[in-house]
Structure 1
Amino acid sequence: MKTLTLFTTLLAVSAAKKCIVKPSSSNDSGIESGEESSLNNLPSDPSNPSNPSDPSNSSDPSNPSNTDPTNPTNPGEQTNHDILVEKARAEGKLPADFKWGAATAAYQVEGAWNEDGRGESVWDHFTHLYPHNVEGEEGNEDSISGNVACDSYHKFDEDIEMMKIMKATHYRFSISWSRLFPDGQAKKEEGKWNVNEKGVEYYNSVINKLIENNVTPLVTLYHWDLPYALHEKYGGWLDYHSQYDFANYAEFCFETFGDRVKNWITINEPWVNCVSGYRLGPGKAPYRCTGEAPRKLANETEGLDLQGGCSYEIGPSQYSPESEVLEANRPPQRLEDVWCSHNILLAHAQAVKVYREKFQKEQNGLIGITVDGEAQIPWIEPGMSEEQKKINEEYANLAAEFRIGWYSDPPVTGDYPQSVKERMGKDLPEFTEEQKAMLKGSSSDFLGWNTYTAHWAAPIEGQTPPTPEEANFENSKRDMWDDNCRGRGDGWTCIPPTLGSQAGSSWNTKYPPTIRVGLNWFSKRYEGLINNGIIITENGCAQPNAKVSRANDEVTAEYFKSIDQPEYADTYEEEIIENEDDKNTIIRDLYRVDWYQQYLENLRLAFVEDKIDVRGYMAWSLIDNFEWENGYETRFGMSYIDFKNDPELKRQPKESLKFLGQWYDENIMQE
């Protein structure tokens, strides 16, 4: 298989941290087409208003409706964006039409979980059922759930004031599916939808207020908060019917909000939703995790933590039309995360199909998916041979194909990466030919990427790639490792050396080149396939805190010195660690300021020097919020909220929010 050579000059770094990665001269995309699938096409779902699987309506990636509707008919004609890009690069800046803003997610900020007709999501249900799975105060349900969160349902005007401080031109937020359709099933009969009108009023208000304040909405349709009713009915994303319910819900949103919303993200981070929610749990709802003992549904519960652990509550599920129906309330099954991923990608494609066939031409908007995944950095050490460096470069690309390409290839190229198919064997579901056609180009308008940290990549000593006979899920990555540290300690924290300094979440390390490495990887892999570039839809950090930090990390410092890159140890003093008893350490978030400064510099260089088509940057997150299994004490926000002592949940801007406003003035061209 062809291999990318993006990493051949990896980490040639100046003291000013300005020359991180140069792309190779190769035009190799690193993608090969796989074997054709022989499965039958999915049948049309009669309950779906759009009938998205009708073969006569298959999306054609070459169709002009699938491209940027603002582009001129003549492909040789210079667009307004092209002119802005030329001007910006000449000045060493980002263009005036660059999407600049912050991001949040509905369950993390809205609160009002049972107000005005909103239905339960899986996060509501499982945080209430298993409160020990979230860090918080014993007996205080609000501290371990999004019941109240930041109360943005009632305080959205205050959120807008924070956006103004950072001079946001865009705001990325998500819609709560169960706030619009409490049972998850959107139906239209005699021209009328079965929607919760109070939910419609709220999102109309949000969208209108943003526009009134000169902030453009960037709307995510799904950010992990599946309606619990669908999980109970058929297991949510484990059942192939989920793609049709999602497409129906999306159709309502396009029809209702699309006159004002011109930027749509279908799905946020399918990897996290599926792998963390259906295999690695109980970190993410619905808390499915392979190999755990039964909890509430067990016959013998003595000695079990009935308020924590993995869940068995689930509806009867059918992975595909050809699959058997699995019984309800069953132990987690092998490959649940794989089938969740398969169905969620199809749901994305079905929604895009609806948008392009019914709305895009008239509404003149763009639609894509947001994937996550760490840029893969070949492991290097003093005295390493050139041959070993080359091997590690190859493994870095292979690891990226598994971690990112698994989810980004299908919406762009129409199928899983060839390497994933070869190594997974029969454990990887196949797309039908119709599904491949529907998937191909479904994120050609733009591709969203959430990036935080990076992983080292190298082969595992003594391991060999699986043979075709050995190809399965368990063996698929047995001969490679990718992680941001050389080992793990308690609480999944890294044992030094780490790939950058330790931020305030165990998986979160500061390694600024990752954003430039990743942008180059995407650009090479999908050259000519994405019309409106890549949007960084999340980037940010948790300030080091009492639970996760590593001040004065000499081990990491010595490692980076040994490879002549001392600046990437990025050590810090204890004084920078957040202290809940000293609010100044939270407001004066200098670690986060430095994070944004370095990551944004790498983004700027990727645009100016590497000529990468990057169109936007959304900082995560606008405000401190519910950080999933970490509750409210792990803070990713640029605005401080005292969740313990302030019932009004007042927003206070941190230094990082002000810094971003300054960075915008200095580095983005103004009209």
Structure 2
Amino acid sequence: MPSWPTYELLPTAAPDLPPSVLVHMAGLNECACEATAGELSRSDFPANFVFGVATSAYQVEGARNEDGKGDSIWDIFSQKNGNIKDGSNGNIAVDHYHRYKEDVELISKLGFQAYRFSISWSRIFPDGFGDKVNDKGIAYYNSLIDFLLAKGIQPYVTLYHWDLPYKLHESVGGWLSEKVVEHFAMYAEICFARFGDRVKHWITMNEPLQTAINGYGIGIFAPGRKENNYDEPYIAAHYQILAHAAAVDVYNKKFKATQGGEIGLVVDCEWAEAFSDEVHDKDAAQRRLDFQLGWFLDPIYFGDYPAVMRKRLGDKLPKFSETHKELLQNPIDFVGLNHYTSKLIVHAPDTTQGPFYKIQEIERRVKRQAGDLIGERAASDWLYVVPWGIRKVLNYIAEKYRNPPIYVTENGMDDEEDETASIDHFLNDQRRIQYFKDYLAAVAQAIRDGVDIRGYFAWSLLDNFEWAQGYTKRFGLVYVDYKNGLTRHPKSSAHWFSQFLKDKKDNDLSQN
């Protein structure tokens, strides 16, 4: 993740997207990437392009009450009846805390160069406040990092992947309080100080939009708030942005020169394709992008939220003080993009899809005007396989935000858990192989378009706890047998990646 130039903070909100960007997006051929997918090989990507796999702490670690760890909001949220689809939790998860060496060995054998994982804030500071460092938590991550490096795998470390220390939520209000910004900066500094001699790739936040909407608007994610869904999501997002900026400030001022690492953040975005050629649908699709990417990237690149958000939300959208704007001027080194699917967007003033979409006056659809689906559905009801969408998102980021270095930090698809099915049913995951072929072909095409993409991380290394869905969805390249000691079994997709990374043309590897 090489650093890129510092840009001047603009005195006003981000300008509307130039028409040339929308024209360019419309000109991207939906079929171009799929036409080359069957011939995809490692040599279609630059020699220094990074391929990795990803997980997050709460989804895989387990060890909830071990070695001094404090509770996170997800520890508490998942204990309440009705919050998790199958009534499960992450107390044990897939036991990565105790099995990390086995899992790292798998990463190495499959040929991946990098592992993106998150640090549990409450494993470092059990109460979140920073009064006392948990040395056993430090020791665990030191061991994981050292073992990765010994196997030739680069750690890409996320500081916050949704698991806020519960005591910070309970005592100061979590992401609804500006106090959390200071606490996050203290936590980040400890991580930089203890791990930064070996960790050269830092991510501050993972998908702050999901925390804001699902955690403080709809209430289906921790901490489960939905009482004030017209205000709290925007407050929670605001303080996440400021916490990100504070951590970047700490890193740039105290550590970057000596440690030589880089820092960015991860945003998520479904591509928003206009439902029709009508102007009102095209405008609606642009609003959808502003309320996804613009919400978090515009303040960093342009100094304020998108103008359309200011216009539609008014006083509900917090304002950045001059001090905040100075903080936001700290440059980041890359943008991480989590992308899985795309939707058709229609202008809909009377939408019933919820307050967040009501404000935007949009509806997300999966059927075209002719009645056919935008793509084949995966297990999750929100995930449709639309490979051309990732190319459009990548080009959009490049054109609007001055072509920053980009990492695709998550991409993948899921299967439905079926306790009656054999292990072989899950191991022979040909649909997932095709998904990766098609999406990687689209990423390769975006690189040829001129987008500065530096790497790609498959989600996920392991089947794991999928938040509100519990263990009912399987995203892993590696099957985890929940009934028989959490044993690991690489799926056909894992073997496909292994062959792909060896730069072999024949990617149709059958499972041994």
TM-score computed with the length of structure 2 as normaliser: 0.89
Q: How does 1:49-88 map onto structure 2 within 5 Å?
A: none
2:54 is aligned with 1:158 = no
Deviation at 1:169, TM superposition (A): 0.5
Deviation at 1:515, TM superposition (A): 1.0
Name the residue aligned to 2:288: 399
2:119 is aligned with 1:209 = no
2:92 corresponds to which of 125, 136, 148: 148
Name the residue aligned to 1:61: none
1:106 corresponds to which of 57, 64, 86: 57
2: CA distance between counterparts of 1:582 and 1:475?
44
Name the residue aligned to 2:85: 135
Q: Which residue identity does 2:484 align to in structure 1?
A: D
Name the residue aligned to 1:314: none
Instruction: Specify the SS of the correspondent of 1:102.
Output: strand
Name the residue aligned to 1:540: 412
Deviation at 1:201, TM superposition (A): 0.6
1: CA distance between counterparts of 2:386 and 2:229?
36
Q: Which residue identity does 2:27 align to in structure 1?
A: T
Deviation at 1:373, TM superposition (A): 1.4
2:297 is aligned with 1:408 = yes
Q: How does 1:220-369 map onto structure 2 within 5 Å?
A: 220-281=158-219, 283-290=220-227, 332=228, 334-369=230-265
CA root-mean-square deviation: 2.3
2:434 is aligned with 1:594 = yes
2: CA distance between counterparts of 1:615 and 1:271?
23
**Higher relative contact order, chain-length normalized (CA < 8 Å, sep 6+):** 2
Q: Which residue identity does 1:482 align to in structure 2?
A: R
2: CA distance between counterparts of 1:266 and 1:542?
26
Residue pair 2:245, 2:330 contacting (<8 A) in 1 also? no
2: CA distance between counterparts of 1:525 and 1:441?
19
Name the residue aligned to 2:396: 521
Closer, same or farther: CA 454–474 of 1 in aligned 2, 3 Å: closer
Residue pair 2:336, 2:409 contacting (<8 A) in 1 also? yes
2: CA distance between counterparts of 1:226 and 1:535?
24
Larger Rg computed on CA atoms: 1
Closer, same or farther: CA 461–177 of 1 in aligned 2, 3 Å: closer
Q: Which residue identity does 1:110 align to in structure 2?
A: E
Name the residue aligned to 2:470: 631
2:296 is aligned with 1:458 = no
2:74 corresponds to which of 105, 113, 123: 123
2: CA distance between counterparts of 1:221 and 1:374?
23
2: CA distance between counterparts of 1:429 and 1:114?
37
Residue pair 1:93, 1:667 contacting (<8 A) in 2 also? no
Deviation at 1:95, TM superposition (A): 1.6
2: CA distance between counterparts of 1:486 and 1:132?
34
2:399 is aligned with 1:511 = no
2: CA distance between counterparts of 1:209 and 1:416?
41
Structure 1: gaps (5+ residues) = 20-90, 138-143, 188-193, 291-331, 381-387, 464-471, 488-495, 547-577
Closer, same or farther: CA 11–389 of 1 in aligned 2, 3 Å: farther
Residue pair 2:230, 2:316 contacting (<8 A) in 1 also? no
Deviation at 1:333, TM superposition (A): 6.2
2:494 is aligned with 1:611 = no
Closer, same or farther: CA 426–377 of 1 in aligned 2, 3 Å: same
Q: Residues 292-348 of structure 1, C-alpha deviation per residue, up to 9 Å, x if partnerless? A: xxxxxxxxxxxxxxxxxxxxxxxxxxxxxxxxxxxxxxxx46411110000010000
1: CA distance between counterparts of 2:137 and 2:243?
22
Name the residue aligned to 2:364: 482
Closer, same or farther: CA 642–355 of 1 in aligned 2, 3 Å: same
2: CA distance between counterparts of 1:518 and 1:606?
9
**Greater share of helix residues, 1 or 2?**
2
Name the residue aligned to 1:168: 112
Residue pair 1:242, 1:347 contacting (<8 A) in 2 also? yes
Q: Which residue identity does 1:197 align to in structure 2?
A: D
Deviation at 1:659, TM superposition (A): 1.0
2: CA distance between counterparts of 1:389 and 1:10?
18
Instruction: Specify the SS of the correspondent of 2:474.
Output: coil
Name the residue aligned to 1:665: 502
Residue pair 2:122, 2:164 contacting (<8 A) in 1 also? yes
Deviation at 1:461, TM superposition (A): 7.4
Closer, same or farther: CA 660–426 of 1 in aligned 2, 3 Å: same
Instruction: Specify the SS of the correspondent of 2:115.
Output: strand
Instruction: Specify the SS of the correspondent of 1:116.
Output: coil
2: CA distance between counterparts of 1:171 and 1:289?
34
Q: Residues 138-169 of structure 1, C-alpha deviation per residue, up to 9 Å, x if partnerless? A: xxxxxx11000010110001111221243111
Closer, same or farther: CA 92–112 of 1 in aligned 2, 3 Å: closer
Closer, same or farther: CA 16–511 of 1 in aligned 2, 3 Å: closer
Deviation at 1:279, TM superposition (A): 1.0
Q: Which residue identity does 1:372 align to in structure 2?
A: D
Q: Which residue identity does 1:481 align to in structure 2?
A: E
Q: Residues 507-528 of structure 1, C-alpha deviation per residue, up to 9 Å, x if partnerless? A: 1111111110100000000115
Deviation at 1:199, TM superposition (A): 0.3
1: CA distance between counterparts of 2:468 and 2:98?
24
Q: Which residue identity does 2:225 align to in structure 1?
A: R
Deviation at 1:667, TM superposition (A): 8.0
Closer, same or farther: CA 598–657 of 1 in aligned 2, 3 Å: same
Instruction: Specify the SS of the correspondent of 1:131.
Output: coil
2: CA distance between counterparts of 1:401 and 1:275?
15
Q: Which residue identity does 2:472 align to in structure 1?
A: E
Q: Residues 464-520 of structure 1, C-alpha deviation per residue, up to 9 Å, x if partnerless? A: xxxxxxxx9786312x33343579xxxxxxxx7432111011111111111101000
Closer, same or farther: CA 408–206 of 1 in aligned 2, 3 Å: same
2: CA distance between counterparts of 1:442 and 1:15?
32
Name the residue aligned to 2:26: 8
Name the residue aligned to 1:655: 492
Deviation at 1:535, TM superposition (A): 0.4
1: CA distance between counterparts of 2:270 and 2:330?
23
1: CA distance between counterparts of 2:47 and 2:64?
38
The 10-residue stretch of structure 1 (333-342 or 500-509) with the greater mean CA deviation from structure 2: 333-342
Q: Residues 580-607 of structure 1, C-alpha deviation per residue, up to 9 Å, x if partnerless? A: 4221110111111111010001001111
Deviation at 1:419, TM superposition (A): 1.7
Deviation at 1:619, TM superposition (A): 0.4
Q: Residues 368-426 of structure 1, C-alpha deviation per residue, up to 9 Å, x if partnerless? A: 0100011111224xxxxxxx355533432221111221112222322211221122212
Closer, same or farther: CA 14–336 of 1 in aligned 2, 3 Å: closer
1:446 corresponds to which of 330, 334, 358: 334
Name the residue aligned to 1:646: 484
Percent identity of paired positions between Structure 1 and Structure 2: 40
2: CA distance between counterparts of 1:104 and 1:437?
33
Q: Which residue identity does 1:583 align to in structure 2?
A: I
1: CA distance between counterparts of 2:348 and 2:270?
19
Name the residue aligned to 1:558: none
Closer, same or farther: CA 161–96 of 1 in aligned 2, 3 Å: same
1: CA distance between counterparts of 2:373 and 2:480?
30
2: CA distance between counterparts of 1:476 and 1:406?
14
2:47 is aligned with 1:96 = yes
Closer, same or farther: CA 15–116 of 1 in aligned 2, 3 Å: closer
1: CA distance between counterparts of 2:396 and 2:343?
14
2: CA distance between counterparts of 1:427 and 1:394?
22
